[in-house]
């Protein structure tokens, strides 16, 4: 066996502790699978006095994460601090410059600075690995890089945020309003102090931007992701979707055609017969459509010490074994500078829920808008009278463009008979 691979872990939060725990618990098994020992030399934490549930004996614990980058007794720096600026970014840059391999779980960092960091890793002849940055324990990055490498990928879509999926799943199964689930989740410690990164689709936007780059060979373009979160989704929408045979899911979707990249995060009605519809609770799932393999789906836990630690350690084992690869599968110089596609040109069916005054002539007013925008309607149903005495009307459209439906949405929202903002969602399947 070769020399042990020497690791430094920056950050002793959930993922850092999970990583260390796996490396310690499965020391022998990992050595066998990696072909050499993996030892933890050093770790950093902001608070050195904090009690932790892991055994840190024999590990040099320091306060300054960035100092790990230049230690001569370290081969691989594991960055699990988080955030796309500050210590995490400085550490990863310094480590690559110092000729260390880097393993990170930091989706924000890779989404914002991935190409720059990948270039640095090329210059210094080291590997930048980030399996843990997307979909936790699901080895989807390895699948895109290797297992599905024979395919031209046409589309990738997924449930990429466990918090949103947990909220939407409980709304569906327990028939609860979003606010009730949020309050309960906060009490149970399942929510971040500021849940907006999750709820507003920003976390999922980071992830779909990374997946798109790997799938299509394009430069990561997180700014090009049109992200809508789940705040507007009510129990009423969940129920109506159910009645039509759909589940509401927050999807990240990316498509690439003729140099044009379309990326979005949005709540969608997913037909119950589709595999993504039955991905429940905090599970994540990624569906990939390749030209040879067809549709492939991966499902598993997207967060937590165990699943994310599993992905971090998988990257470490691959490094120990000697696997070397460009961060985004192909050299950064080959990454395509895509142009952001016109989301308004995208074609889909749509769900539109309207809260209208319950009076004669209302139907004529908004159906006129659909006629003006040349949108063909598949179904109109008046479902209930809401607490505010508004009539709840759901419109399902035939295939139309995002642009047409957006204009119709805006016009209807401006009608005097419309008493609350209409809720608009794309439909899948």
- The binding site for a second copy (CB under 8 A) comprises 18, 22, 26, 29-30, 32-34, 131, 136-139, 142-143, 145-152, 217, 273, 275, 278-279, 290-301, 306-307, 309-314, 316-318, 321-325, 329-330, 334
Closer residue to a second copy, CB minimum distance, 120 or 215: 215
Minimum distance from residue 301 beta carbon to a second copy (Å): 5
Rank residues 178 and 338 by Cβ distance to a second copy and give the closer one: 338
Q: Report how far residue 402's alpha carbon sits from residue 408's, in angstroms, rounded to the nearest whole number.
A: 10
**What is the rounded distance in angstroms from the CA atom of residue 86 to the CA atom of residue 65?**
11
Distance CA 67, CA 84 (A): 18
Question: At closest approach, how far in Å is the CB of 16 from a second copy?
Answer: 14
Buried b (16+ CB within 10 A) or exposed e, 74-87: bbbbbbbbbebeeb
Between 249 and 266, CB nearer to a second copy: 249
Q: Please provide residue 250's backbone torsions phi and psi, each rounded to the nearest 5 degrees.
A: -85, 115
Looking at the Cβ atoms of 33 and 119, the one nearer to a second copy is: 33
CB of 299 or CB of 373, closer to a second copy = 299
Q: Which of 51, 207, 357, 411 is catalytic?
A: 207
Cβ nearer to a second copy, comparing 76 with 396: 76
Q: How far is the CB of 419 from a second copy (least distance, A)?
A: 38
CA–CA dist 177, 102 (Å, integer): 42
C-alpha of 224 from chain center: 15
What span, in angstroms and rounded, lies between the C-alpha atoms of 96 and 144? 23
207 is catalytic: yes
Return the closest-CA partner of residue 25 out of 301, 325, 313, 374.
313
Strands 246-257 and 153-159 come out as antiparallel
Please report how close the Cβ of residue 291 comes to a second copy at its closest, in angstroms: 8
Q: Which helix (H) or strand (E) holds 157?
A: strand 153-159
Minimum separation from the CB atom of position 4 to a second copy (A): 17
Q: Is 333 helix (H, G, I), strand (E, B) or coil?
A: helix
Q: Where are the beta strands (DSSP E) in 336-417?
A: 339-340, 347-356, 377-385, 391-397, 400-401
Q: By the 8 A CB rule, do 78 and 316 touch?
A: yes
CA 196 to chain centre: 14
* CB 332 to a second copy: min, Å: 12
Active-site annotation, residues = 207
């Amino acid at each position: 066996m070769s020399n042990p691979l020497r690791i430094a872990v920056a950050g002793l939060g959930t993922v850092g502790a999970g990583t260390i725990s796996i490396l310690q618990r499965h020391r022998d098994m990992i050595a066998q699978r990696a072909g050499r020992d993996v030892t933890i030399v050093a770790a950093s934490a902001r608070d050195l006095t904090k009690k932790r549930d892991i055994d840190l004996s024999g590990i040099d614990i320091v306060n300054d994460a960035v100092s790990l980058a230049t230690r001569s007794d370290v081969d691989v720096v594991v960055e699990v601090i988080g955030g796309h600026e500050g210590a995490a970014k400085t550490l990863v840059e310094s480590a690559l410059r110092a000729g260390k391999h880097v393993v990170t779980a930091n989706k924000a960092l890779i989404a914002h600075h991935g190409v720059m960091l990948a270039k640095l890793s090329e210059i210094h002849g080291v590997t930048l690995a980030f399996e843990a940055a997307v979909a936790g324990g699901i080895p989807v990055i390895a699948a895109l890089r290797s297992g599905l490498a024979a395919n031209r990928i046409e589309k990738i879509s997924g449930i990429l945020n466990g918090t949103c999926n947990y909220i939407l799943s409980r709304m569906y199964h327990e028939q609860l309003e979003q606010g009730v689930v949020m309050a309960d989740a906060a009490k149970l410690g399942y929510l971040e102090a500021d849940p907006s990164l999750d709820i507003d689709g920003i976390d999922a936007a980071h992830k779909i931007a990374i997946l798109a780059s790997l799938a299509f060979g394009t430069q990561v373009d997180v700014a090009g992701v049109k992200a809508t979160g789940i705040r507007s989704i009510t129990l009423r929408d969940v129920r109506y979707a159910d009645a039509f045979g759909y589940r509401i899911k927050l999807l990240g979707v990316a498509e690439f055609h003729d140099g044009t990249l379309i990326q979005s995060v949005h709540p969608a009605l997913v037909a119950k017969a589709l595999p993504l519809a039955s991905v429940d609770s905090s599970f994540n799932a990624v569906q990939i459509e390749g030209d040879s393999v067809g549709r492939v789906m991966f499902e598993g836990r997207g967060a937590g010490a165990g699943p994310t630690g599993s992905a971090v350690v998988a990257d470490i084992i691959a490094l120990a074994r000697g696997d070397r690869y460009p961060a985004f599968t192909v050299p950064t110089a080959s990454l395509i500078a895509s142009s952001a596609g016109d989301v308004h040109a995208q074609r889909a069916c749509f769900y539109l829920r309207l809260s209208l005054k319950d009076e004669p002539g209302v139907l004529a007013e908004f159906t006129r808008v659909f006629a003006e925008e040349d949108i063909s309607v598949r179904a109109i149903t008046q479902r209930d009278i809401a607490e505010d005495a508004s009539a709840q009307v759901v419109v399902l459209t035939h295939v139309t463009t995002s642009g047409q439906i957006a204009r119709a949405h805006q016009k209807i929202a401006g009608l005097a008979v419309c008493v609350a903002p209409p809720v608009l969602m794309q439909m899948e399947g």
